[in-house]
Amino acid sequence: MRYPIVLLRAPAAARFTPVRARCLSTKDNSYKIVAATEVPQATESLRAAGWSVVGAQLSKTYEFKGFQAAWAFLTQVAMHAHLKGHHPRIENLYNRVTLTLHTDDVGSLTSHDIAMAKRFEKLSQGYERKKPATTSEK
């Protein structure tokens, strides 16, 4: 017996519309290139929070209590990145999430990279983190 194939379509409001443009373009004047001499000062609070600056990239690995918390955080990161049109490199392994930010078109850190990293840092505050192992006292 053959069964009919039924294709269901999501309502228009639920359909995902992909962003066709690349991340920030040099035509977008809403960001400022951060000069190499300004990077240490501009990223001071981020480095204190565990972000690292390597070349023209900002990177941080978050460790959450479990996969669900990591995925919930990733969902917020993805939505914020989509709305801002600036997408980080995302790596996820169970409860670990690594975010790397850079602006493709300029080959340098921009004010947008720094603002996004600060926003992601605030987003991460609402999730349970894995507690660091403590050493027992003798």
Residue 34 lies in a domain: no
DSSP 12: G
Residues 6+ apart with CB under 8 A from 81: 87, 88, 116
Q: Is residue 65 part of a domain?
A: yes
- In which element (H, E) is residue 41 found? helix 39-42
Distance from C-alpha of 84 to C-alpha of 134, rounded to nearest angstrom: 39
DSSP string, 74-116: HHHHHHHHHHHT---EEEEETTEEEEEE-BTTTTB-BHHHHHH
Number of structural domains (the chain) is: 1
Residue 45 belongs to some domain of the structure: no
pLDDT in tens, 99-133: 999 887 787 889 899 999 999 999 998 887 776 65
Domain that holds residue 72: 52-125
Question: Which pLDDT tens digit goes with each residue over 58-113?
Answer: 999 999 999 999 999 999 999 999 998 888 999 999 999 999 998 877 878 898 99
Full-model pTM? 0.73
